[in-house]
């Protein structure tokens, strides 16, 4: 990067301007500006129309790492053993004074069951409830072993059939599974199918469930609904609340921009072009086959904030030119000439931050990265090209232009008239305060690092951490966990055998041993497997005598049990067993513990004829996600820092300057992890991108501040002078940008969706802290790292040899700087 | 459906017949007969199948080789070390120190220190010699029905659970099990012999209980199995069963007997099993255990968790303080409370009237 003090001639009259001046891109854009505006209008109209078709949805498969061995196993076996990933549980709770053994309750349960059965996306063959014939009881008679559906086939609501129903429930083995032990509620278990080609519309599904909930709650029962689909449904519903935050961010940003420019016309123009960019972005999504999901919905916020800050820079330049009396079209072209490359490079730096995210093997993060990159790419056109073109028509308000020029002139005069804030920041170019600042930063860095070692991977709260603890969903989930053994967190281990050997006694012995090992863990509340079923069935086939409750070494007895086993315990070709562990929660530590138990077991029991493979169930998938996130976090940070460092090396061509730019970012990265520890936020799919975004956008500040400082240093200024120059030119933009970005994302903190709030808090922290880092730590580090600048570049000529040609003034007397261009 | 018929029909084709006393196991794999019971916090909530009181201590046995001890009348339990992890089905003490527990895989365990430590006396694999010996004896005696039965035991391997155990003194004891299996010892279990000849030669029903009531020994079991011995166990004779349903146990004192079993079957006899009267009980659950309450009749536990009290002459009535899990055993604690074992741990309660 080089900063030039190149000055363009002020031309008030258009006729005097050479329209063939400037580069080819500038001529192409500005010499056909009418056509360009018309084309943009047409494109905007078309994309706005397309934007209306954008879908809000979420996909279970997209939130999981599709290349992880656990997920590969899950996907490989998914069709053989159903209902392992994605299911909704509907708890139908009886009226406060009743239990499930009343005709009212049974009737309502049937009505709910039948409605849910018909919902699109339901895997009906595997649905379970007290009204599903697949849910059976096992009993003994004088003749031996008998069984039947829990709901009597001749149920008619009479006292006799209620009594029969009650007896069946008691001997069904479903207490704690489908029926609460207090008999005040029962579960409708609804597995969902999500296959390529027939996407599940979670928003619509959730709406249908809510409709069912509303109608039946009017009849006295309580419905509690949990499962990934409901979380996604609630998130999608929450997205509409997000629009309010967007409106808030828009208004506040516009106000700040107005205060910054004091020009209504250009404020509106900057907001409008940024919005055009967002319309284009959203319009492109359906064309590219993308949907907005609860994660990528946040991209438009980021794009808006980034767009506005770059737009503000453009405007700053045009105002100063117009203030000097230049014609508005010529001012626009000058600004384009000066800032297009600079702005485009800065935006490309943002793209680096986003692009690094695509190394993470989780589709939602990749989509977020791609959409964000696309958005920033669009901004290069809308805010760096279209905005100057539009400004060339509208111009700016003359009073604002004058004011801008007056401020700039004022800063050129004596240092005694420095603004208070600038005077304060200037302190950090002195060795004493600089040493203090660095000392404090070191203490923060070391302390933060120690704290950040505690940062956890994955979800730290029970229930759905995407939603707030007091959300209806989490209250419902809490009810489920308290009342049922088979809660919503299921971890499935596969046992692979030779075909036809899944029921061999020696294989089941190992399954049984693994199951028992799992149950020793504090995080496992219960388990189920074919081995467990054989234990029970062995008693069942011996007239219910519990003395037979064991895995009897009798293959015929086992085969007899296999004939009655539910389909989820082993597959049709009898080479795959599923062992289910029901966990008390899906916190990262709990999942680690379960994985460790299984791995220890496999290590300690070299298996003969059976191979245990991880994993499925929501908890198994989440364990895989955590592992991917954990390794991705390190790789992503490495990647983003390598990219940012390279960018800085190219820009500054000085390792000392690179250190000045990058060290404050490192401090921010450390502190944000410490902050996550403090706020109880784990590193997960939703927070992982934040860390990369923070660095990618944070480096912008360093580029702006340090490049100007470095240029002035090279032209012979003292650090204090050089830094002051940089403050009055780019420092104000940095402060403006920091505030705009922080407000844009800070509003998320009020989102009903917890992870959006978390992302908002973390991003706000990073944007503000990076801003402080750029304004305080860069000069402080430069005090020690860049004192030799004067020797490196003893004369201004040397500096300019790297910069644009046409020197305008003597660097030894750098007072008048009519127009300074930043080139990155 | 009765499992046994299909079981036998398919037997010829069974892998299990490949070699006597060898279950088709990978060579290196430890079976539950070899694996010591794991000490687990879950044991107290697991399936327990019998409970006994000895010298103020309670001893309960159950799944996975769990043996639980309580020295505070059933309030707190600790787990004893046991060399096997098969399901233990019954426990019985001859005196304060000496007791036996039997279970799956034909295992017999003995303690000589009141339950703290348990050692294996025999198991289904070690009984191979005893079975061959009994087979030779049966052939010598020309008892082909008994010989066929013993040959089957040899062919099928050590999968037969023992279901109850009784010692008349420190020396002479019996263990009974599935498919009419009877073991006997005269030396406190140092040497167990197969004693199927004590019953009818073709007896192949499960024997769920062996009891000494008064001066007689009784066997009760599957499908109306009922035997009595009045000569200290030298010879058992069939008793006429009032119905063909399965019996899970019997209790009583001298000649007054209470026989109980499948789906609420409860029968009373005043003459040591000569005549039976049915006691009507309104339940579908099976009675699994019974206890004589001094002066207060009988207590019964069912596999629905229900508790029933029956004082001579009246009808059995259900007590309020049942369990939410099937019950399997009953005993009187030293403090007068009753302790039940069951499918999900133990239950402690006082009987009504106390």
- Residues of chain B contacting residue A560, judged by C-beta atoms under 8 Å apart: 3, 6
CB contact under 8 A, B87 and A145: no
DSSP state of B84: -
Domains A1-10+21-52+262-413 and A415-453+654-811+820-824 in one fold: yes
In a domain, B12, yes or no: no
Whether residue B30 is contained in a domain is answered as no
The structural domains of chain A, with segments of one domain joined by +, span 1-10+21-52+262-413, 415-453+654-811+820-824
| CATH number of residue B319's parent domain | 2.130.10.10
pLDDT in tens, B167-202: 998 899 999 999 989 999 999 889 999 988 888 888
CB A667 within 8 A of CB A448: yes
Which residue in B has a C-alpha nearest to residue A172's C-alpha?
B304
Closest CA to A385 of A297, A311, A444, A462: A311
pLDDT tens for residues A591-638?
888 988 988 888 888 767 888 888 887 788 888 888 888 888 888 888
Between the CA of residue A476 and those of A113, A223, A587, A618, what are the distances in Å?
A: 18, 9, 18, 17
pLDDT at B43 over 50: yes
Ranges of residues in chain A with a pLDDT under 50 are 1-5, 141-143, 414-416, 788-824
Q: Determine the average pLDDT of the residues in B223-249.
A: 90
Residue A486: the pLDDT is 61
- Inter-chain CB proximity A553 and B31 less than 8 Å: yes
The beta-strand segments (E) located in A709-773 are none
Report pLDDT digits (tens) over B274-309: 889 898 888 878 899 999 887 778 889 988 888 888
pLDDT, tens digit, 9 for 90 and up, residues A613-622: 888 877 888 8
Asked if B91 and B164 touch (Cβ cutoff 8 Å), the reply is no
Q: In whole angstroms, what is the distance from residue A207 CA to residue A468 CA?
A: 20
pLDDT of A315 = 79
Pull the structure tokens for residue A403.
Answer: 């004011």
Cβ distance A542 to B2 less than 8 Å, yes or no, reads no
pLDDT confidence of residue B23 = 39
CB burial class (10 A; 0-12, 13-18, 19+) of residue A557?
buried
CB of B146 within 8 A of CB of B196? yes
B13 within a domain of the structure (yes/no): no
* The predicted structure's pLDDT at residue B79: 94
Q: What pLDDT sits at residue B91?
A: 95
- The reported pLDDT for the residue numbered B310 is 84
Note which residues in 8-37 of chain B have CB less than 8 A from chain A: 10-11, 14-16, 23-26, 28-29, 31-32
- pLDDT at site A409: 63
Is domain A1-10+21-52+262-413 annotated with CATH 1.25.40? no
| pLDDT higher than threshold 50 for residue B19 | no
What is the per-residue burial (b if ≥16 Cβ within 10 Å, else e) of A613-629?
bbbbbbbbbbbbbbbbb
Question: B349 is written with which tokens?
Answer: 């309660």
**Is B8 a member of any domain?**
no
Domain-embedded: residue B91? yes
Rounded to the nearest angstrom, the gap between the alpha carbon of residue A593 and the centroid of all alpha carbons in its chain is 26
Tell me how crowded residue B152 is: count the other CB atoms within 10 A of its CB.
15
Cα B49 from Cα A591, distance rounded (Å): 34
- With beta carbons under 8 A apart, name residues in chain A contacting B42: 519-520
- In a mutagenesis test of the A interface, which of B12, B15, B24, B26 is the best target, namely the one with the most A β-carbons within 10 Å? B26
Q: What is the pLDDT of residue A787?
A: 61
B1, B2, B3, B17: best to mutate for the A interface, most A CBs within 10 A? B3
Return the pLDDT at A146: 65
The reply to whether B174 falls in a domain is yes
Fold classification of A415-453+654-811+820-824 is Multidrug efflux transporter AcrB transmembrane fold (1.20.1640)
Range of the domain at B47: 38-349
Predicted local distance difference test score (pLDDT) of residue A7: 55
What's the domain count of chain B? 1
Is B10 part of a structural domain of the chain?
no
Q: Check whether B46 has a pLDDT greater than 50.
A: yes
Residue B328: which of A171, A546, A608 has the nearest Cβ? Answer: A546
Name the more confident of B80 and A634.
B80
């Amino acid at each position: 990067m080089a900063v030039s003090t190149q000055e363009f001639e002020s031309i008030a009259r258009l006729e005097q301007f050479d329209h063939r001046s400037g580069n080819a891109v500038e001529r192409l854009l500005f010499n056909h500006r009418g056509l360009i505006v018309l084309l943009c209008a047409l494109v905007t109209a078309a994309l706005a129309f397309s934007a209306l078709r954008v879908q809000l949805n979420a996909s279970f498969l997209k939130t999981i790492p599709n290349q992880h061995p656990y997920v590969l196993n899950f996907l490989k076996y998914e069709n053989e053993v159903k209902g392992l990933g994605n299911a909704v549980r509907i708890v139908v709770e009886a009226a406060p004074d009743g239990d499930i053994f009343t005709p009212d309750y049974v009737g309502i349960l049937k009505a709910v069951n039948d409605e849910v059965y018909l919902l699109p996306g339901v895997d009906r063959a595997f649905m379970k409830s007290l009204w599903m014939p697949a849910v059976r009881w096992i009993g003994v008679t004088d003749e031996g072993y008998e069984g039947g559906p829990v709901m009597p086939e001749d149920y008619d609501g009479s006292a006799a059939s209620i009594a029969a129903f009650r007896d069946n429930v008691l001997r069904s083995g479903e207490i704690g599974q489908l029926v609460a032990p207090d008999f005040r509620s029962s579960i409708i278990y609804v597995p969902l199918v999500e296959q390529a080609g027939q996407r599940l519309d979670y928003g619509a599904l959730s709406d249908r469930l809510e409709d069912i909930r509303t109608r039946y709650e009017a009849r006295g029962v309580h419905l509690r609904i949990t499962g990934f689909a409901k979380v996604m449904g609630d998130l999608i519903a929450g997205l509409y609340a997000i629009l309010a935050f967007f409106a808030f961010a828009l208004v506040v940003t516009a106000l700040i921009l107005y205060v910054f420019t004091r020009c209504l016309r250009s404020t509106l123009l900057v907001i409008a072009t940024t919005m055009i960019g967002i319309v284009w972005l959203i319009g492109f999504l359906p064309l590219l086959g993308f949907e907005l999901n609860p994660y990528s919905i946040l991209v438009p916020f980021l794009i808006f904030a980034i767009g506005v800050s770059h737009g503000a820079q453009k405007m700053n330049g045009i105002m100063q030119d117009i203030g000097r009396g230049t014609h508005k079209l010529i001012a626009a072209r000058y600004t384009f000439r000066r800032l297009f490359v600079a702005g485009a490079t800065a935006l490309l730096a943002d793209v680096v931050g986003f692009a690094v995210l695509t190394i993470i093997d989780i589709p939602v993060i990749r989509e977020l990265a791609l959409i964000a990159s696309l958005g920033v790419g669009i901004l290069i056109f809308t805010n760096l090209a279209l905005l100057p073109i539009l400004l060339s028509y509208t111009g700016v308000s003359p009073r604002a232009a004058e004011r801008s020029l007056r401020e700039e002139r004022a800063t050129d005069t004596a240092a005694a008239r420095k603004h208070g804030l600038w005077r304060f920041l200037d302190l950090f170019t002195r060795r004493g305060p600089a040493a203090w600042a660095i000392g404090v930063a070191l203490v923060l860095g070391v302390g933060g690092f120690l704290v950040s070692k505690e940062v956890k991977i994955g979800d730290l709260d029970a229930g759905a951490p995407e939603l707030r603890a007091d959300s209806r969903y989490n209250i419902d989930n809490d009810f489920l966990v308290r009342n049922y053994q088979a809660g919503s967190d299921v971890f499935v281990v596969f046992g692979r055998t030779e075909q036809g050997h899944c029921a061999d006694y020696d294989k089941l012995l190992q399954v049984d041993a693994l199951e028992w090992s799992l149950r020793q863990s504090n995080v496992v509340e219960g388990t189920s497997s074919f081995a467990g079923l054989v234990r029970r069935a062995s008693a069942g086939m011996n007239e219910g005598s519990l003395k037979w409750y064991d895995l009897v070494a009798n293959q015929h007895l086992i085969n007899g049990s296999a004939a009655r086993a539910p389909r989820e315990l082993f597959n049709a070709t009898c080479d795959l067993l599923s062992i289910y562990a029901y966990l008390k929660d899906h916190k990262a530590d709990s999942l680690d513990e379960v994985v460790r138990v299984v791995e220890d077991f496999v290590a300690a029991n070299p298996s003969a004829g059976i191979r245990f493979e991880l994993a499925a169930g929501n908890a198994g998938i989440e364990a895989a996600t955590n592992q991917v996130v954990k390794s991705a976090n390190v790789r992503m940070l490495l990647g983003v820092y390598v990219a940012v460092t390279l960018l800085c090396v190219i820009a500054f061509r000085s390792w000392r300057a690179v250190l000045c730019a990058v060290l404050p970012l490192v401090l921010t990265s450390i502190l944000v992890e410490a902050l996550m520890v403090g706020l109880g936020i784990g590193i997960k799919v939703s927070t992982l991108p934040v860390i990369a975004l923070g660095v990618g956008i944070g480096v912008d500040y360093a580029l702006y501040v340090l490049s100007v400082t470095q240029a002035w240093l090279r032209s012979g200024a003292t650090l204090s002078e050089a830094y002051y120059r940089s403050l009055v030119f780019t420092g104000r933009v940095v402060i403006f940008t920091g505030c705009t970005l922080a407000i844009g994302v800070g509003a998320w903190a009020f989102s009903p969706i917890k992870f959006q709030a978390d992302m908002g808090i973390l991003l706000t922290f990073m944007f503000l802290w990076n801003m402080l880092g750029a304004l305080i730590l860069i000069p402080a580090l430069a005090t020690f790292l860049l004192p030799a600048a004067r020797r490196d570049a003893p004369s201004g000529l040397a500096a300019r040899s790297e910069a644009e040609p046409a020197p305008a003034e003597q660097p030894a007397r750098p007072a008048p700087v009519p127009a300074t261009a930043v080139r990155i | 459906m009765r499992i046994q018929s299909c079981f036998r029909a398919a037997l010829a084709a069974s892998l299990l017949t490949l070699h006597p006393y060898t279950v088709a196991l990978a060579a290196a794999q430890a079976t539950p007969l070899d694996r010591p019971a794991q000490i687990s916090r879950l044991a107290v909530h697991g399936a327990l199948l019998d409970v006994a009181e000895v010298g103020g201590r309670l001893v309960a046995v159950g799944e996975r080789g769990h043996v639980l001890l309580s020295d505070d009348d059933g309030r707190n339990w600790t787990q004893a070390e046991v060399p096997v992890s098969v399901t233990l089905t019954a426990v019985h003490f001859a005196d304060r120190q000496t007791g036996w527990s039997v279970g799956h895989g034909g295992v017999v365990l003995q303690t000589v220190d009141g339950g703290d430590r348990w050692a294996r006396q025999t198991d289904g694999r070690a009984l191979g010699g005893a079975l061959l010996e009994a087979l030779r004896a049966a052939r010598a005696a020309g008892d082909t029905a008994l010989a066929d039965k013993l040959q089957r035991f040899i062919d099928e391997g050590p999968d037969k659970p023992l279901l109850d155990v009784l010692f008349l003194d420190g020396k002479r004891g019996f263990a009974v099990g599935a498919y009419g299996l009877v073991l006997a010892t005269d030396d406190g279990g140092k040497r167990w012999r197969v004693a199927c000849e004590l019953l009818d030669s073709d007896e192949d029903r499960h024997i769920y209980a062996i009891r000494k009531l008064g001066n007689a020994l009784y066997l009760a079991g599957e499908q109306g199995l009922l035997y009595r011995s009045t000569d200290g166990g030298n010879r058992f004779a069939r008793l006429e069963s009032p119905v063909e349903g399965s019996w899970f146990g019997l209790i009583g004192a001298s000649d007054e007997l209470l026989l109980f079993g499948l789906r609420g079957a409860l029968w009373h006899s005043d003459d040591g099993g000569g005549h039976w009267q049915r006691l009507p009980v309104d339940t579908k659950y099976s009675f699994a255990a019974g206890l004589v309450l001094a002066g207060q009749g009988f207590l019964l536990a069912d596999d629905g968790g229900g508790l029933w009290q029956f004082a001579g002459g009246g009808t059995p009535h259900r007590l309020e303080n049942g369990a939410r899990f099937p019950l399997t055993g009953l005993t009187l604690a030293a403090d007068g409370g009753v302790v039940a074992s069951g499918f999900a741990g133990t239950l402690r309660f006082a009987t009504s009237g106390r």
